Amino acid sequence: MNYLMSLSGKIKNHQAVIGVIGLGYVGLPLVLRFHEEKFSVVGFDTDPAKVKMLSQGQSYIKHIPAERIEGLAKSGLFEASTDYTRLKEADVVIICVPTPLSKNKEPDMSYIEMTSDEIAKALRPGQLVSLESTTYPGTTRELLLPKFERRGLKAGQDFFLVFSPEREDPGNQKFHTQNIPKVVGGVTPPCKAIGSLLYSQIVDRVISVSSPEAAEFTKILENTFRAVNIALVNELKILADRMNVDIWEVIAAAASKPFGFMPFYPGPGLGGHCIPIDPFYLAWKAKEFNFSTHFIELAGEINTNMPSYVVTKIGDALNENGRCLKSAKILLLGIAYKKDIDDMRESPALEIIELLQKKEAKVFYNDPFIPNIPKVRKHDLHLKSSLLTEKLLGSMDAAVIVTDHTSYDFDWIVANSRLVVDTRNATRAVKRNRRRIVKA
């Protein structure tokens, strides 16, 4: 049987059943996009709470409206499941599971390992498997391919295997799954062809590359580029502060050059599921080739130290106001890793809270998107969002702007605070009470 032709026909006619493993910030938008194109979709997740909410038409991601999930649940074209034996029902299996770092900043491949083991058990002729989780170059060919061929099936003939990196940017109003170009690399030319055909059904542009390694490297390059440039402006922010120069003014002036400059902005540290993590996957893999990735390691060191710099600035600002950090009441404004989303993965706010607590400060926070801080891999803080009022601000020794949500009225915040430490230049337009503001 010609499995390539058979699967191609199913994909072109939108009759292929799509299985998406991991229903988080990457997997769920993908489910919705396939559903919009009238594909039947089965979503898999190990979290029964997510499966239940999706089945009931409820959204657990702030920027994805409940109406879209309700339409998904009622359509008859979608099911959510924790039963991985159902993977054999899918013609296409897409992997969207986390790829975190270990404590030693080495790749934690446990989620990909467990998921690929489940796929290997269910793999049948005629299926396409696509890995979207960001990982080091070589993962698809070295880790997944041997598992899938162990049962005697041949890639490019009996089944198809590609890597196509996710490029989701939660909360971005301009770019979304459909209009973000999709990179695809297959372990064989037929794999690349069928993978490109699949994604061409749901995105406006597909970029085919020569191999999964090239696709894997592409994603790592994108995020390393950002990590290194953010580290540069973070380091220059510290230097500019010592020189009594406003780095934000400098960046704005430099950005007026119409060529040869791209603005990056400093902050309290890196957050999110990609930029703080992905470059270290490449740094780890590079050691296999006796190569040291100096830029990656230096950028990681600078960005990792930014929360400590922020805490130092808070302490200095308090001293200037006749208070010490110990026993001071500190309010963090925003703990999501970027504005207007409910995603706190790797957020520098968590590290800032922990550092402040170690110095015996009394820490509070407000975030309109995150009502409480659950236990995460590195932190167990047990804090709930405080209602943002004049009384709360007035009772604090300092308010620290960590995430510049657009719902915050920064004029009002400054007017009602004794001291504001601004890590995002959020108070740039504030005209009154500027003496209360300290940039960090």
DSSP letters along 24-58, please?
Answer: STTHHHHHHHHHHTT-EEEEE-S-HHHHHHHHTT-
pLDDT class of 307 with cuts at 50, 70, 90: very high
| Look-up of token digits 């038409």 | 57
Q: What are phi and psi of 100, to 5 degrees?
A: -80, -175
Neighbour count for residue 291 (Cβ, 10 Å):
11
Give the whole-angstrom CA distance, residue 35 versus residue 16: 12
Q: Pick the catalytic residue: 96, 191, 274, 324?
A: 274
Average per-residue pLDDT for the chain: 94
Q: Which two tokens stand for residue 91?
A: 């013609």
Q: What is the pTM of this model?
A: 0.92
- In the chain, the N- to C-terminal Cα span, in Å, equals 64
What residues are paired with 162 via a beta bridge?
130, 186
**Mean of the pLDDT values across residues 116-131?**
97
Is the pLDDT at 320 greater than 90? The verdict is yes
What residues are paired with 382 via a beta bridge?
none
Is the pLDDT at 376 greater than 90? The verdict is no
- pLDDT for position 319: 95
Helix (H, G, I), strand (E, B) or coil at 367: coil
Q: Which two tokens stand for residue 273?
A: 């599921």
- pLDDT for position 377: 72
Least confident range from 73-77, 276-280, 290-294: namely 276-280
Is the pLDDT at 378 greater than 80? The verdict is no
Give the whole-angstrom CA distance, residue 335 versus residue 351: 10
pLDDT class of 375 with cuts at 50, 70, 90: confident
**Mean of the pLDDT values across residues 301-316?**
96
**Mean of the pLDDT values across residues 386-391?**
97
Is the pLDDT at 404 greater than 80? The verdict is yes
Q: Is residue 150 packed enough to be buried (19+ CB in 10 Å), middle (13-18) or exposed (0-12)?
A: exposed
- pLDDT for position 169: 87
- pLDDT for position 163: 98
**Alpha helices, DSSP H, located in 262-325:** 278-286, 294-304, 306-320
DSSP secondary structure of 122-141: H--TT-EEEE-S---TTHII
- pLDDT for position 172: 85
Which of 329, 438, 335 has the alpha carbon at shortest distance from 394? 329
DSSP 288: G
Query: What does the pLDDT look like over 153-172, one tens digit per residue?
Result: 999 999 999 999 999 888 88
Neighbour count for residue 88 (Cβ, 10 Å):
14
Q: 324 catalytic, yes or no?
A: no
DSSP secondary structure of 147-166: HHHTTS--BTTTBEEEE---
Q: Which two tokens stand for residue 64?
A: 């994805």
Which domains, and CATH codes, for the chain?
3-210 (3.40.50.720), 236-439 (3.40.50.720)
Give the whole-angstrom CA distance, residue 104 versus residue 60: 31
Query: What does the pLDDT look like over 1-54, one tens digit per residue?
Result: 799 999 999 999 999 999 999 999 999 999 999 999 999 999 999 999 999 999
**Mean of the pLDDT values across residues 274-297?**
90
Q: State how far Cα 409 lies from the chain centre.
A: 26
Q: Which two tokens stand for residue 308?
A: 């400590």
Q: Which two tokens stand for residue 209?
A: 């590359």
